[in-house]
A = this chain, B = another copy of it.
Amino acid sequence: MTSSTTSRPGGRSAKVRDAVYTAVGQLMGEGTASITVPAVAQRAGVNPTSVYRRWGDIDTLLEEVAVAALTREGDQPPDTGSLVGDLTQWAQIIVDDVTRPHRTRYLRAMVSARSGEVEACPCWEQRRGQSRTIIERAQDRGELVPTVDQVLDHLIAPIYHHVVFGLSADHAYADRLVRDVVALSAR
Instruction: Give chain A's interface residues, CB within 8 Å of chain B.
Output: 31, 33-34, 101, 108-112, 114-118, 121, 124, 149-150, 153-154, 157-158, 160-162, 164-168, 176-177, 180, 183-184
Contact = CB atoms under 8 A, between A and B. Distances in A.
A3 to B, nearest CB: 37
A159 B186 CA distance: 24
A166 B33 contact: no
Given A115-B31, A154-B154, A121 B165 contact: yes
A157 B150 CA distance: 13
Contacts of A110: 165
Contacts of A166: 114-118, 121
B167 A153 contact: no
A79 to B, nearest CB: 26
Nearest to A31: B115
Given A118-B167, A158-B158, A161-B161, 5 more contacts: A31-B115, A117-B166, A149-B176, A154-B180, A157-B162
Given A157-B158, A157-B161, A161-B161, A167 B108 contact: no
A124 B167 contact: yes
A168 B101 CA distance: 27
Nearest to A114: B166
